[in-house]
Structure 1
Amino acid sequence: MRLWMRYMSVWMLAAVGLLLTLLLSSCAFPGMTTTSATLPQVSEQPTKTVLPPIEFPRDEGKHNDLTEWWYYTGHMQATDASGKSHTYGFELVFFQAIRSNLPTVYPAHFAISDITRGEFHYDQRRLTQFVASPSSGGQTAPGIDVHVGDWFVQGLNGKDHLIASMQNYAIDLNLTGLKAPTLHNGNGLITYGLGGFSYYYSRTRMQVGGTLLDHNQPLKVTGTAWMDHQWGNFLSLGGGGWDWYSIQLNNKTEIMLYFIRDASGKTISTYIGYTDADGKAYVLPEQSMKATVLNKWTSPTTGITYPSGWRIDIKDPHLQSTLIIKPLLKNQELVVTNSTGNVYWEGAVGIEGQQKGQPVSGEGYVELTGYTR
């Protein structure tokens, strides 16, 4: 990209700069890592569908809307040749931003939480390229096929292949969805009023297999992943941030939570999505949940203080739970100013508690944005 940009005209460089400004200032939603905006409140009831419903596998791939991303997080285990056990978390995310006839921007982030070593590592990339300009809302071929350099995700019908590498770590993973996709807000369509609309679904439990290269040592890994796919013609409406949680419990149930804050730090929207062991999805009322921060952690790199440990109490006929969530590493902060222009914390967590009177344990990921010094 640098060689190509060297020969771009002055006006094109200005256009790219404008596009990046739009990207970093107008694509802020749970799952999208920027601290410059918040969502309007989401209804607890399924939104009346005024746009085409999600269809699989058609809607797994790229769309021609303003904003889109494919977001993978997960936990992996391995045993090396000496018999030593290893535990990892991983994050791999690809963003797409389309603005008028400007070049399309593809930022990407890759992170490994090496729990065994007690270390967190990440890398970032950004690709800018010209693509054809189909009509808004259109969609290309079914299935996922997104590349940023030699990082990529390809997939169809919930069978996805992930490739990414950085210094000392590389992944070559095959993921298989174990449940039907969960359509958030009941039908997978969330409207934001003046902010626009968003399609949003998750594959809440994906089986992981493949290879992790750890300091040039190839390890066969197994584990469980979570995948989010969100797209639409939506833009941000102000400053703030959010806390987002994906929770996978050992009784084969999953929970997705997020709390959205305005610029003053006040929580303006809460979302509770629950997928039961049979794959049936529910949206629970926000008043059924209470979240309590148990600890805090201050980054030695940025000086930002984040919450670091939570108690989640949910009291609803579908879900009676008390969960203690703890980061598996304190420092899982990404400073990604060269790709998405921001700083955020996203990391692997462990979970203990009870659900409907029975003990449960599990694993998950938490994303924290909008925090400052």
Structure 2
Amino acid sequence: MAIVAVVAGLLYAGMSAPDRPALASAASLDPVRKPAERTAALAPVNLPADDAPHGSGMEWWYYNGILDAATGQRYAFHVAVFVANGLVKQTVMHVALTDLQTGQRYADQGRTGGLPAQHVANGFDFRQDDWQVAGSGPSQKLRAAFEGVSIALDLTDSHAPILHRAANSATPGLLDFGQSGISYYYSRPRMAAKGEITVGGKPAQVSGDVWFDHQWGDFDVLSLGWNWFALHLADGSDVMLYQLFDAQGHKVMTAGTVSNAKGSVPLKPEDVELTPVTTWTSPHTRIPYVVEWRVRLPSGVLNIKPFVADSEFDAGRTTANVYWEGPVKVTGSIDGQGFLELSGYDRLNAAQSNRR
């Protein structure tokens, strides 16, 4: 979800058992009242103060978008900054850019000890080498140069952020993953982006809608995998969906949020049906990913297909894992576009191989 596909292996494994965040105990039961939510014991989301780093076990700031150039080119990208607090605090950046005309994909990653950030009241400003991820509230910016390409975007948001919650929860902005812990999670699904993409020394002025996620907490990213959808639909609504699965591939949880300019509604598990359609196997790692899906929602059925099937991100140099992250087309009851993230397939593939 953008529980973004990452900081699993290397960062989390760097924490010794006593240092790993303890999982909250089960909710107390009352014979008369319904069980108290574990999330209710935590402080509520407070924005813009909570835009800033928290020092929790895991945290990330994540962006994706499909951008249009005045000259007709289209580009898709994702950028993420991860901070893990273990025996040593570590900061990681992942960035990928896909030229949708040629299918050419460019990617880079970096890791450093500590927190390479400037102090910002109620915000964040990460800087390292040729990249910067900064913002506070509805005004943010991205800068990254790598492999002969560059991204320079300024983002603004005229809408209130979306605080995700479970369908029957009274605590917006908090998700309870059971034995895997609790996470804070909010999004700005349609930040208006303007800026410049440079490929092969040729700059192009671009614009489009960018999805921003911020997630943090003391949760175990190694125990779960996920299929995560961030979709912009033609009627102006936005859909965030996630399906969690365990190391054996068994479904653990399905949930999400539908939002528009008027607000948001959490989806109940029975509101969502995710059906795998097509699997693509990476020629680089031999990991199979389900890259095409049929999604049933109360509003209708959506068909999800990738723009470019080969959107695997090998994060071996920074987080010791591999995931799939790429732009998708939406057809069916309504058209649209967005991003799909597939995380944990490397561990699932390894577990299945061991059973053979």
TM-score tier after normalising by the smaller chain length: 0.7 to 0.9
Q: Equivalent residue for 1:22?
A: 14
Q: Equivalent residue for 1:371?
A: 345
**Offset at residue 78 of structure 1 (A):** 0.7
Q: Choose the corresponding residue for 2:53, options 56, 62, 65.
A: 62
Tell me the C-alpha RMSD between the 2 structures.
2.8
Q: Choose the corresponding residue for 1:107, options 92, 105, 129.
A: 92
Task: Write the distance in 2 (CA, Å) between the matches of 1:25 and 1:208.
Answer: 42
Task: Write the distance in 1 (CA, Å) between the matches of 2:254 and 2:102.
Answer: 35
Q: Deviations over 1:232-269 (max 9, x none)?
A: 2223473x411100011121101111111111111111
**Offset at residue 327 of structure 1 (A):** 0.2
Size of the aligned set, in residue pairs, is 318
Does residue 153 of structure 1 match 2:138? Answer: no
Task: Write the distance in 2 (CA, Å) between the matches of 1:66 and 1:141.
Answer: 21
**Offset at residue 48 of structure 1 (A):** 4.9
Q: Equivalent residue for 1:252?
A: 236
Q: Among the aligned pairs, what percent are the same residue?
A: 35
Q: Does the 8 Å contact 2:116/2:126 carry over to 1?
A: no
Q: Does the 8 Å contact 1:25/1:236 carry over to 2?
A: no
Q: Secondary structure at the match of 1:339?
A: coil
**Offset at residue 18 of structure 1 (A):** 8.8
Pairing of 1:259-278 with structure 2 (within 5 A):
259-278=243-262
Q: Equivalent residue for 1:71?
A: 62
Q: Deviations over 1:327-368 (max 9, x none)?
A: 0001000111001111110000111122xxxxx221110001
**Offset at residue 25 of structure 1 (A):** 11
Q: Choose the corresponding residue for 1:336, options 311, 315, 331.
A: 315
Task: Write the distance in 1 (CA, Å) between the matches of 2:345 and 2:10.
Answer: 26
Q: Secondary structure at the match of 2:309?
A: coil
Q: Secondary structure at the match of 1:309?
A: strand
Task: Write the distance in 2 (CA, Å) between the matches of 1:270 and 1:47.
Answer: 19
Task: Write the distance in 1 (CA, Å) between the matches of 2:151 and 2:274.
Answer: 34
Q: Secondary structure at the match of 1:118?
A: coil
**Offset at residue 63 of structure 1 (A):** 1.1
Q: Equivalent residue for 2:6?
A: none
Q: Equivalent residue for 2:210?
A: 225
Alignment CA distance shift 1:90-1:130 (3 Å): closer
Task: Write the distance in 1 (CA, Å) between the matches of 2:112 and 2:62.
Answer: 17
Does residue 285 of structure 1 match 2:268? Answer: yes
Supply the AA of the counterpart residue of 2:43. Answer: P
Alignment CA distance shift 1:130-1:321 (3 Å): closer
Q: Equivalent residue for 1:297?
A: 280
Task: Write the distance in 1 (CA, Å) between the matches of 2:276 and 2:244.
Answer: 15
**Offset at residue 326 of structure 1 (A):** 0.8
Supply the AA of the counterpart residue of 2:237. Answer: T
Q: Secondary structure at the match of 1:52?
A: coil
Supply the AA of the counterpart residue of 1:72. Answer: Y
**Offset at residue 141 of structure 1 (A):** 2.9
Q: Deviations over 1:85-144 (max 9, x none)?
A: 101110000000112xx4310011000111111122211100113799xxxxxx973112
Does residue 93 of structure 1 match 2:80? Answer: yes
Task: Write the distance in 2 (CA, Å) between the matches of 1:271 and 1:75.
Answer: 24
Q: Equivalent residue for 2:290?
A: 307
Unaligned runs of 5+ in 2: 1-8, 19-24, 26-35, 166-170, 350-356
Q: Which moved more, 1:203-212 or 1:227-236?
A: 227-236
Supply the AA of the counterpart residue of 1:201. Answer: Y
Supply the AA of the counterpart residue of 1:22. Answer: G
TM-score (norm 1): 0.79
**Offset at residue 178 of structure 1 (A):** 3.3
